[in-house]
Amino acid sequence: MSILTLSLVIAGLGLIGWLTARMRAVGFRRGSTARFSSLPSHFGGYVALWTVLPAALFLCVWASTSPALVTDRVLHDPAAAQLPPPGFDRAAILSEARSLAAGNSFGAFNPLSQKLAPAYAAAQNRNDWIGSAVALLLVFATGGFAYTRVRPDFRARSKIERVVMACLLAASLIAIVTTMGIVASLLFESWRFFSVVPIGDFLFGTHWSPQVIDPADPGKTLGAVPLFWGTFFIGAVIAMLVAIPFGLMSAVYLTQYATPRARRWMKPILEVLAGVPTVVYGYFAALTVAPAVRDVAVSLGITWASSESALAAGLVMGVMIIPFVSSMADDSLAAVPGAMRDGSLAMGATSSETIRRVLLPAALPGVVGGVLLAVSRAIGETMIVVMAASGVATLTLNPFASATTVTKQIVDLLTGEAEFDSPKTLAAFALGLTLFVITLLLNIVALTVVKRYREAYE
Amino acid sequence: MSDAPTLSGLVPGVATTAPAQPERAPTDWRTQSMQRRIRKRYASERRFRLLGLAAVVLSAGFLAVLLVTMVYNGASGFLQTRIALPVDFAHSGLLLTPAELRGPGADLALSTANIEGLTDSSARAAFGPDGDRWVSDGGWLRVRQALKHDPALLTARTTIWVPAADTLDVAAKRQGDPAAEAIVAKLQARHAISTGFNLPFLTASDSNDPTRAGIWGAFKGSLFTMLVTLLIAFPVGVLSALYLEEYAPRNRWTDLIEVSINNLAAVPSIIFGLLGLAVFLGTFGLPRSASIVGGLTLALMTMPVIVISGRNAIKGVPPSIRDAALGVGASPIQVVFHHVLPLALPGILTGTIIGMARALGETAPLLMIGMRAFIASPPARLTDPATVLPVQIFLWSDQIDRGFVEKTSAAIIVLLAFLLAMNGFAIYLRNKFETRW
């Protein structure tokens, strides 16, 4: 039986188990005046769980081990004696025979796979039957066992609730597993990278050109300092020069000056800015902003200005970050106790004096935390720089020159043709690890600052 | 401070008289210097207020410029330029009979006929030696379609509107190169050119030829990917939010879970792409470019968003509901699944839709797992190579061909329309079901 029909059969049996157990429970409840801990559907659920879960678990294990068992059996076939020694050819012939046996392909490139195909089909068939039989046996054994326990005094509800709790716990553990998966995969690949390229060369080298890697000294052209600088320059300097004034002033205006009506309209408009996909910003930056920036530079007399300048990418990224800074500033302004504001106004200060001399200094830690979070978001931003920034790594202070970022290089390195093991692709994981660590640190610092500040006023 | 004088009176050795303060006359606000000072302060107040308004207006203005640019560039992407092509089927030399085309073997018969050649020769006959280059590479498909629709055409001479070639298309809609514009002017004089809605843009897949390229393949890929994301991220996110908010004991493990979720929400999306590449493709050996891998990767990214918004929604359900349910004998599981979850569901759904909207617009992680391949046919299964709408936009934006500029912007309009609809629905849900306890 195929895995799909088998699952459907098991699900059907589970349904039958649910119905029979429920009927039995309804039966013994009828005419009885005793109080039960469980409803009939609890008994039904209990039996259904016992019917389906063990068999499903077995099938999962079986599906992952069965191909190896089949291959093992085929290798004992007399025809398999002619197979070449383990290696690429052998694997190719075996996979060809497998697809022949499964009926996925009709002709074989290799005559040997033609010969092995019947053996494959037979072994596969045999394994399928074993698997189906064991699964069905499990269904009836465990389902029957559960059915015998359906008695008036049996606490089916607490058993089911235990399973539900286990599911809840498992769901929340997925977050930890994901985090560990990120850390482990980045660390593992980076470790392989650093076993080829010295870590010092990578972190402190100032020359980045992964297109030409000298096998004798791969670290020479894999110095990431220009990338770090470009990332910092675009994400933390140019973007913030746009985002901080605009975000802060918008927040001030919306919270302190705007009428509630205007605020109801303006806030969602700002939030739409955050909802626009980054690929749209990237296209806009590349199509409209970058040529405009170049034209401005040329009219200023900078004839060599790049059409993939750091300024274009940074400007658009800054605009993308505005709503983020604005909402963080909004929160911190709202957290300042009203008494401070009222006191200042009562002393005769104008609104703007109150905002500049009282509210903003009081909200400063929160604003700084928000800006740090915004920086962390900006340096992790990918599509804008992929589409609008250049791929050439330069150490420059000139915003009209081209600059590249860590994220752009990760995309460039991994979307080429290179194989998975070359220093070039592994370098992407080392860059990813650096990015992960930096954003993590920024987030931790920012959250600590924000939390401390909130506590100070509570 | 107010009781300071009494204190000093009681404590020996402290002078009872306050230090002599200079007699201060009340401020005369009418003097010129004071008036000037007030004017200055008010002016600065107005400046500051205007600055704030300017920040908001400029931000909104940027959004407006962005949208207007996209609509301006993209509106023509939904239009198609067509040329009236006279085709003489009667003398075409096609080895087909109307009866053949009415029978069940029509598709087979059509596929053996050289309709492409017929289209080219008809175009040359009608428009001169270069005529076949005026018609789009996919123009013959329209001829075949017309023939299939009405086999009686085989014995007739008729005019079929076929899509124009890319260069003419660009020249007809906006400025193209002078040669193409001259051709368009010539065709216009003969009334042999028209513009209509570009249905293939919505029903076709990616193509090298901008006149044939469409978004359906990418759109279907997006649907598949979002389906996987929703099926994984929603249950996991909701269950995990319920656990953390309702049952989790306050201990180190719970803290660890919370810290991981908060950090995952702030991890750059490209890192999730690296995770998908290393784990789903590298370790588990799932197929490259498949929508199931994209969905899994985006699910890991969306889950923290759902958990965080879900926890806020669950927190909003007042404790009295729980106490009441517990009081009538419900078990903790029943309290949560019968009472708390249904009440928190609108809030959870709002957060889920916003998270899904973010995932729908996400590009970078999908580039990492290889969803940037040229896919000319829509995926049929979750494991088929696919691409998604934002990646399609990215791929088209890299094309040199000018015809792709409007296609890119048109695809962006479609994507933005979907995102706007999703966000609007989320806001509607929030307003409709929001309960003030």
Q: How confident is the model at residue A41 (pLDDT cuts 50, 70, 90)?
A: confident
| Counted domains in chain A | 2
Q: Do A439 and B239 touch (CB under 8 A)?
A: no
Q: How many angstroms separate the CA atoms of B407 and B214, rounded?
A: 8
Q: Do A277 and B256 touch (CB under 8 A)?
A: no
Residue B195 in 3-state DSSP?
A: strand
Q: Is residue A177 part of a domain?
A: no
Q: In the prediction, which pLDDT does A229 show?
A: 92
Residue B167, Cβ density class (10 Å: 0-12 exposed, 13-18 middle, ≥19 buried): buried
- A226 lies in the same domain as A86: no
- A251 lies in the same domain as A360: yes
Q: In what order do the strands lie in the sheet with B157-163?
A: B157-163, B79-88, B193-197
CB count in 10 Å sphere of residue A49: 20
ipTM of the complex: 0.86
- A127 lies in the same domain as A239: no
Domain boundary, last residue among A154, A189, A206: A154
**Residue A2 is which amino acid?**
S
Q: Where is pLDDT greater, at A419 or B107?
A: B107
Q: How confident is the model at residue B356 (pLDDT cuts 50, 70, 90)?
A: very high
Q: Is residue A137 part of a domain?
A: yes
- A113 lies in the same domain as A253: no
Please list every residue in chain A whose beta carbon sits closer than 8 Å to the beta carbon of residue B270.
380, 382, 407, 410-411, 432, 435
Q: Do A351 and B45 touch (CB under 8 A)?
A: yes
- A134 lies in the same domain as A234: no
Please list every residue in chain A whose beta carbon sits closer than 8 Å to the beta carbon of residue B420.
272
Q: pLDDT tens digits for B152-202? A: 777 778 888 888 888 888 888 777 778 788 888 888 888 788 888 888 888
Question: How many inter-chain contacts (A to B, CB under 8 Å) are there?
Answer: 246
Q: How confident is the model at residue A417 (pLDDT cuts 50, 70, 90)?
A: low
Domain boundary, last residue among A105, A133, A154: A154
Q: Is residue A340 part of a domain?
A: yes
| Cβ-based neighbours of B138, under 8 Å, separated by 6 or more | B163, B200, B207, B209, B211, B212
- The answer to whether the CB of A297 falls within 8 A of the CB of A400 is yes
- The answer to whether the CB of A347 falls within 8 A of the CB of A402 is no
Q: How many angstroms separate the CA atoms of B355 and A53, rounded?
A: 31
Domains of chain B: 80-196 (no CATH), 216-433 (1.10.3720.10)
Residue B5, Cβ density class (10 Å: 0-12 exposed, 13-18 middle, ≥19 buried): exposed
- A143 lies in the same domain as A253: no
- The answer to whether the CB of A116 falls within 8 A of the CB of A21 is no
- A237 lies in the same domain as A137: no
Most A CBs within 10 A among B40, B274, B340, hence the mutation to make, goes to B274
Q: Is residue A162 part of a domain?
A: no
User: Mean of the pLDDT values across residues B37-43?
Assistant: 93
Question: Taken in order B415, B375, B277, A417, is the CA torsion positive or negative?
Answer: negative
Residue B251 in 3-state DSSP?
A: coil
Q: In the prediction, which pLDDT does A87 show?
A: 66
Element (H, E) at A435: helix A423-456
Q: Is residue A195 part of a domain?
A: no
Q: Is residue A202 part of a domain?
A: no
- A99 lies in the same domain as A223: no
Q: pLDDT tens digits for A325-372? A: 999 999 889 888 889 999 999 999 999 999 999 999 999 988 999 999
Which range of residues forms the domain containing residue A309? 218-452
Main-chain dihedrals φ then ψ at residue B81, nearest 5 degrees: -90, 130
Does residue A104 register a pLDDT over 70? Answer: no
Q: pLDDT tens digits for B284-330? A: 888 888 899 999 999 999 999 999 999 999 999 999 999 999 999 88
CATH of the domain at A406: 1.10.3720.10
Q: Is residue A171 part of a domain?
A: no
User: Mean of the pLDDT values across residues A264-282?
Assistant: 89
Q: Is residue A312 part of a domain?
A: yes
Q: How confident is the model at residue B2 (pLDDT cuts 50, 70, 90)?
A: very low
- A110 lies in the same domain as A223: no
CB count in 10 Å sphere of residue B332: 15
Please list every residue in chain B whose beta carbon sits closer than 8 Å to the beta carbon of residue A287.
69, 73, 397, 405
Please list every residue in chain A whose beta carbon sits closer than 8 Å to the beta carbon of residue B59.
246, 250, 269-270, 273, 319, 322-323
- A111 lies in the same domain as A239: no
Most B CBs within 10 A among A279, A408, A426, A429, hence the mutation to make, goes to A279
Q: Do A287 and B419 touch (CB under 8 A)?
A: no
Q: Where are the alpha helices (DSSP H) in B243-318?
A: 252-266, 269-275, 291-315
CA distance B91 to chain A (A): 42
Q: In the prediction, which pLDDT does A218 show?
A: 77
- From first CA to last CA, the distance across chain B in angstroms is 43
Q: CA angle at residue B204 from B200 to B207, to 5 degrees?
A: 110
Domain boundary, last residue among A117, A135, A154: A154
Q: Do B333 and A171 touch (CB under 8 A)?
A: no
Q: How many angstroms separate the CA atoms of A398 and B209, rounded?
A: 39
Q: In the prediction, which pLDDT does A425 show?
A: 83
| Cβ-based neighbours of B277, under 8 Å, separated by 6 or more | A414, B368, B369
- A147 lies in the same domain as A263: no
- Calculate helix-pair angle for A239-252, B32-74, nearest 10 degrees: 120
> Mean pLDDT over all residues of chain A?
86
- A273 lies in the same domain as A348: yes
